Structure 1
Amino acid sequence: MESSTLLMSQLTGEWGTIKWLLVTLIFLWLASATVLVMLVIKAKRWLIHIDAVQKRKLFREQADEFLEQNKLDQLQKISEQRVESYPNDTWCHWYLALAFYHKGRWHDAKRTFQTILQLNPSWRETVNPYVEDLMNKISNSRPGLVK
């Protein structure tokens, strides 16, 4: 009888230890899962950022090509599409303004250059020569000829 009581008391003591070990393992598993989820979220955000950077780079390469080849309708089209998707991207407004400028759509070009300055005032040195030229063209043209 004494041996069974001793065995029961040992099992009860070990069961308490086992419970604490299980609680510790569950806690460690939950902490690891939380860290893993946070890492996955950060990785996903990073991949989204990389994708956006790649898309911007591809857009700029294509826009430069259209501008160099004087394919102004295509330049305008891809720029307007990008403005729709990324309204705060200065570069898409830049290429749209250049398309309007080279097509002789001076009021549209002026409005778009002004949008660039609102989005990014640091572009002033780049944009101002175009705006000044547009102001001269608009003031020197006949009212019916300005687009």
Structure 2
Amino acid sequence: MNKTQFFFVLAFITISFNTAFAQYGYGNGYGNGYGGYGMGRNSMSQMNQADMKPKEIPVEVTVAKIMEKLKPQLNLDELQTIAIGNVYTDIIKSQTAIMKDEKLSQQEKSNEIKALFEINERKVNEYLNEEQRQKYKALKEEGGNNKKEKEKKKKSKKEDE
């Protein structure tokens, strides 16, 4: 056998082994294929489903982000920051409970959440002075406009496709 034939035979054998092992999950080094260490399709799909569930962000983290934005924009003092943070914590916890309640229909959930936001608005405004209320109202309107603009952009992108 000359060197060229030897090279082709060696390459063929290497590719064959690599392909055979890759089909069983050994090619990637993890052994997660159909025959890899007893892990078949069922156990893999169960693992994927567990990984796909969105992880809940703690309420405190969400409230901290909200307050981080509101404090400088509304010029809140520490007492206002704590009080308004507590209002947001209560509202978010209530909203989460409503969303998880399987007894309520989507319409009922929507109505409950709207009511929560109205209560939130009143409670937050109790802790603000007149100037802060105006800024807070402007921030809320700006946030609503940003959401509408994002929705319009999404719709126009879908139509373009």
- The TM-score, its normalising length taken from structure 1, stands at 0.30
Give the structure with the larger helix fraction: 1
Which structure has the larger Rg over C-alpha atoms? 1
